[in-house]
Amino acid sequence: MINLERVGEHEFVATNDRGASVRIGRKGQDGSFSPVELLVAAAAGCAAVTSETLILRRTGGEELTAVADAVQSESGNEVISIPVTLSYDLSAVDDPEALEVVVRRAVEQFCTVTRTLKQSATAPLQLPTPLQTASDPL
């Protein structure tokens, strides 16, 4: 579960159960991620975390980076695509095509974030309900 707490005007801190936190704010706000940037980071992070062991074991290296960006609709109110690019050294890899097949399969099968994005997960919003008082009719 993620807890989100307001810490200032247009500033929030999200905290998980393990004590990690991230600052969330409006787009362009110093020192924070916008909600869309977090979505993009989640897609890139999921692909990298999912493929890390496969890539590093076969490349013999330690370098793995991921870059992603949000492609938004003309109105700017929807993200229509989040292309993710993984980068790693192929110089020690005998069969780069085979590695590509394995990495793609792993990300497609096990990356929860990108699998969820492909399925267009719902995000139901729950709002507080007014408290009923003793004088309210039933």
Instruction: Quick: pLDDT tens for 22-76.
Output: 999 999 899 999 999 999 999 999 999 999 999 999 999 999 999 999 999 999 8
| Residue 61 to residue 28: CA distance in whole angstroms | 35
Query: pLDDT-derived band of residue 12, with 50, 70 and 90 as boundaries?
Result: very high
Q: Are residues 56 and 87 in the same domain?
A: yes
Would residue 131 count as lying in a domain? no
Q: What is the pLDDT of residues 59-74, one digit of tens each?
A: 999 999 999 999 999 9
Q: Residue 22: name the closest of 37, 30, 33 by CA.
A: 33
Flag whether 133 is in a domain.
no
Enter the pTM of the model.
0.87
Burial classification of residue 50, based on how many CB atoms lie within 10 Å of its CB (0-12 exposed, 13-18 middle, 19 or more buried): buried
Same domain, 22 and 48: no
Domain that holds residue 8: 1-33
Count: domains in the chain: 2
